[in-house]
Amino acid sequence: MRPLTAAQMVAAAVVVARLARGRRRLPPLRALPDAGVTVSVVIPARDEAARIGPCLRAVLAASAVSEVIVVDDGSRDGTAEVAASLGAKVVTAGPLPGGWVGKQWALRQGVAAAGGEVVVTLDADTRPEPGLFGALVGALERYDLVSAAPRFVCDGVLEQALHASMLATLVYRFGPVGPASPPPPHRVVANGQCLAFRRDRMTGVDGFALVRDRMTDDVALARRLARQGWTVGFLDAGSLLEVDMHDSVGELWREWGRSLPLRDVTGPGWQVADLAVIWLTGALPVLRLAVGRPTGLDAALLAVRLLLAGALRGSYRKPGAGLLLSPLLDPASAFRLTEATLRPVRTWRGRTYPQARAGARRDTCGDARDVSGGARPALPGRSAAR
């Protein structure tokens, strides 16, 4: 047996085992109208004036939400004014300290300003249903940190095809959303577009400071807390949460493609293994099909990939032909994943961040331990609404 064939067989077995977890995955979140506790929603925002309106209107209409805080992170497009005009409490983020990524800095200040027992963080491009917040509070009876997987909005066949192809790389590496058994901490994943936790517990560990220099902040936070004994739930909330992430295929390629590898929270061994799985089971069958030389294993893997495309229908508001075409773009997604792994990007919204601080040591779980002896910044006080 040729080495490439043997490696492909091993990778195929790994993927099939991961996909098989979907038979036992937890049911999706269901709407609950009354949260039963006070809920603060925190939305970090930097130049989101054009997108934050629908999110804020939906959150402000939810009876389960006690307060809505928008943390304006140096916006230059009137984001703060839009948020205030709609009725949100606006907190102005202070100057970004060295060693911090903007989103974590904004979230830390938003949580410090929140008064609710439970905090839900949302990205500005999310569109929550009112029942989402009660559902998240209910899930916190079982978990310490809850992350919600949304339903995606894609404009056009090509955007949906590329998005579904990139999404498939996550499923092939980590399995479906809602695993019945928690993965080991170094393989935990989360979606930072929607997180829920109890405020006192998060401020007690100063969670966002723990991952202050990570570009893939959501997964970094989930893995760090899981290592500290937190139970982390990554649950399907497709019927309660929509996300319109990108405005074009080019933006999707640049922005989501740069974060897909989870490079700054994944050890080198796992990075190599994950890339091998994607190339051998996703890209290689399509490339061989294109040159007219697919093997029997390639055909089987293409069939599995088409089944996954069908299973992903529920992940999109308007599933269409893009889902069926998405396997054809798997070589492109594998290339983007590899490119972003080898040449990581640490630039976002006009800011360029240095590599992880010199005083931090990362292990294969993507954890960071401060060995510099430097003190962490104190939690900021509550900011006045503007």
- Cα-to-chain-centroid distance, residue 35: 24
Whether the per-residue pLDDT at 372 is higher than 90: the answer is: no
Higher pLDDT, 375 or 305: 305
* Same domain, residue pair 86 and 198: yes
In a domain, 329, yes or no: yes
Chain segment 248-271, per-residue pLDDT in tens: 999 999 988 888 999 889 999 999
| Residue 226 lies in domain | 31-141+183-230
Question: Does residue 356 lie in a domain region?
Answer: no
Q: Which residue has the tokens 């007219």?
A: 292
Report the alpha-carbon distance of residue 182 to residue 284 in Å, rounded.
31
Q: Residue 361: inside a domain, yes or no?
A: no
- Is 134 in the same domain as 267? no
Q: With a cut of 90, say whether residue 364 has pLDDT above it.
A: no
Least confident of 38-42, 125-129, 223-227, 344-348: 344-348
pLDDT of residue 353: 76
H or E stretch covering 126: strand 126-128
Nearest CA to 323 out of 304, 306, 300, 337 is that of 306
Question: pLDDT class for 301, splitting at 50, 70, 90?
Answer: very high
Chain segment 104-135, per-residue pLDDT in tens: 999 999 999 999 999 999 999 999 998 999 99
Q: Are residues 41 and 122 in the same domain?
A: yes
Check residue 108 and give its pLDDT. 97
Q: Say if CB 109 and CB 94 are below 8 A apart.
A: yes
Is 149 contained in some domain?
no
State mean pLDDT over 331-359.
80
Q: What's the pLDDT score for residue 356? A: 61
* Polymer length in residues for the chain: 386
- Choose one of 302, 324, 341: the last residue of a domain: 341
Domain count, the chain: 2
- Other beta carbons less than 10 A from residue 297's beta carbon: 17
**Assigned domain for 211 exists:** yes
Euclidean distance between CA atoms 93 and 6, whole angstroms: 53
Helices of type H across 21-121 = 52-60, 79-86, 102-113
Q: What is the CATH number of the domain that holds 118?
A: 3.90.550.10
Note the pTM of the prediction, 2 decimals. 0.89
Mean pLDDT rounded to a whole number for the chain:
90
Note the pLDDT tens digit of each residue in 322-341: 999 999 999 999 999 999 99
- State whether 77 and 206 are in the same domain: yes
pLDDT at position 369 is: 37
